[in-house]
Structure 1
Amino acid sequence: MKKQVGTIIGIILIIIVAAFSLMNLNSVEVNFGFTRLQAPLIILILFSLLFGALIIFVFSSTQNVKKNRQIKRFEKLSDKKQAELATQIQELKTSLKEMETRLKNSAGKQEIGAKDQQIADLEKQIERLNKNL
């Protein structure tokens, strides 16, 4: 939408400059300081317009180049951060798996330890019973 509005405004400005130029067909003298030039006013108006457009183009081009460099720098930084985060996520997943394994082993050892304790208690009871017999 912005491009369409810009295009329409550009066309309107071109029509205004063309109409203004056609109303000023007289020849004028221009003093450049080191030389003087006699030229039709329409040529001077169009030349000034083109020179101004060239200046605007150069300035906008340099701004675009700066923005593109900045965008590339941010993209590289973003890629680097994403790679770091992916590495951290992978390390956390590995750590989680290790912890789950430890927990499972720990729970199994606790159960075995509890059963061993029960067996030891039962053996002691059997010994007591045997002594009482």
Structure 2
Amino acid sequence: MNTDKRRQLNLIIGLIIALVAVIFVVLNTNPVAINFGFFKVKLPLIVVLVVMVIVGVLLGWFWNEDHQINKKKK
């Protein structure tokens, strides 16, 4: 499979996952308590889920950047 088709497939899969995540987040708006050990925070679940999705995207992006840098070194 050539690079362009692979990127298109990755984009489509990423968009589908993002759509499922958005639907899941919108359906879960009840407040939840998060215990950090020293303190508790009560936030709507939608906020927690959005933050976790953003953290996941950033971790994936950083991992991909690291992978690309290591690939160029070889």
TM over 0.5: yes
User: Structure 1 runs of 4+ off > 2 angstroms?
Assistant: none
**Once the 2 structures are TM-superposed, how far is the Cα of residue 34 of structure 1 from its aligned partner?**
2.3
Q: TM-score, normalised by structure 2?
A: 0.83
Alignment of 1:66-81 (within 5 A): 66-70=70-74
Structure 1 residue 19 corresponds to structure 2 residue 29: no
Aligned residues with identical type, % of pairs: 27
Structure 1 residue 40 corresponds to structure 2 residue 40: no
**Once the 2 structures are TM-superposed, how far is the Cα of residue 42 of structure 1 from its aligned partner?**
0.7
**Once the 2 structures are TM-superposed, how far is the Cα of residue 27 of structure 1 from its aligned partner?**
0.9
Q: Which has the larger radius of gyration?
A: 1
Which of 3, 6, 13 is 2:10 aligned to?
Answer: 6
Q: For the residues of structure 2 that align with 1:3 and 1:63, how far apart are their CA atoms? A: 16
Partner of 1:55: 59
2:51 counterpart letter in structure 1: F
**Once the 2 structures are TM-superposed, how far is the Cα of residue 25 of structure 1 from its aligned partner?**
0.8
Q: Provide, for residues 56-111 of structure 1, a one-character-per-residue CA deviation record: whole Å limited to 9, x for no partner.
A: 222221121111122xxxxxxxxxxxxxxxxxxxxxxxxxxxxxxxxxxxxxxxxx
1:6 counterpart letter in structure 2: N
Identify the structure with bigger relative contact order (alpha carbons < 8 Å, sequence gap 6+).
Answer: 2
Q: TM-score, normalised by structure 1?
A: 0.49
Backbone CA RMSD of aligned residues? 1.1
Which of 33, 38, 44 is 1:29 aligned to?
Answer: 33
